[in-house]
Amino acid sequence: MSKKVSKVLADAEKVKTKQYVDLGLLSGDVFFVPFIQDLTGNLGSKADAFLGKLQDCSARLANFKSAVKTALTASLVVSLSKTAAEFNSGFLDGTFSGV
C-alpha cells in the first residue's frame, strides 16, 4: 500500500474517532476500533491490528485474518454493486435526485 493511501486511511481513522468522541460514545469501558476500509479493500492500521488480535484469539482457524479480509472485501463489492445499480436505475428512469 502506498504512503498516500496509508495517510488517507490514517486520517479517516482520526476523523471517525473524533466523531465518536464528540458524540460521547467512547466513555467508560467501551472498546472502539475505527475500522476503516477503502473502496479497493485496503484496511486502516487500526482495523488491521484489530484483525491481528482476533487472529491471535482464534487458534481454530489458521487463516482467520485473511478470511475476514476476504469476507469484508466481498461485502464491500456487493454493497457498491447495489449502490451503483440503484444510482443507474434512478438516473435512467429520471428519478435520480442528485443526492
Q: Give a yes or no: residue 98 inside a domain.
A: no
Domain count across the chain: 1
Using pLDDT thresholds of 50, 70 and 90, give the confidence band for residue 5. very high
Please report which residue ranges of 1-99 form alpha helices under DSSP H.
3-22, 45-57, 64-93
Any domain includes 99: no
Contact 43, 75 (CB under 8 A): no
Is 74 within the bounds of a domain?
A: yes
Cα–Cα distance between 22 and 36 in angstroms, integer? 18
Gyration radius of the chain over CA positions: 17
Mean pLDDT, rounded, for 1-20: 94
pLDDT higher at 8 or 40: 8
Query: Could you report the per-residue pLDDT of 27-84, keeping only the tens digit for each?
Result: 888 888 999 999 888 999 999 998 888 877 777 777 887 888 888 888 888 888 888 8
Q: Is the pLDDT of residue 99 over 70?
A: no
Which residues form the domain of 44? 3-93
Q: Is the pLDDT of residue 91 over 70?
A: no
Query: Which residue do the cell numbers 475476514 mark?
Result: 68
Q: How confident is the model at residue 87 (pLDDT cuts 50, 70, 90)?
A: confident
Predicted TM-score of the model (pTM): 0.63
Identify whether 58 is part of a domain: yes
DSSP tag of 14 = H
**Quick one: which of 42, 44, 68 has its CA closest to 54?**
68
End-to-end CA distance of the chain: 31
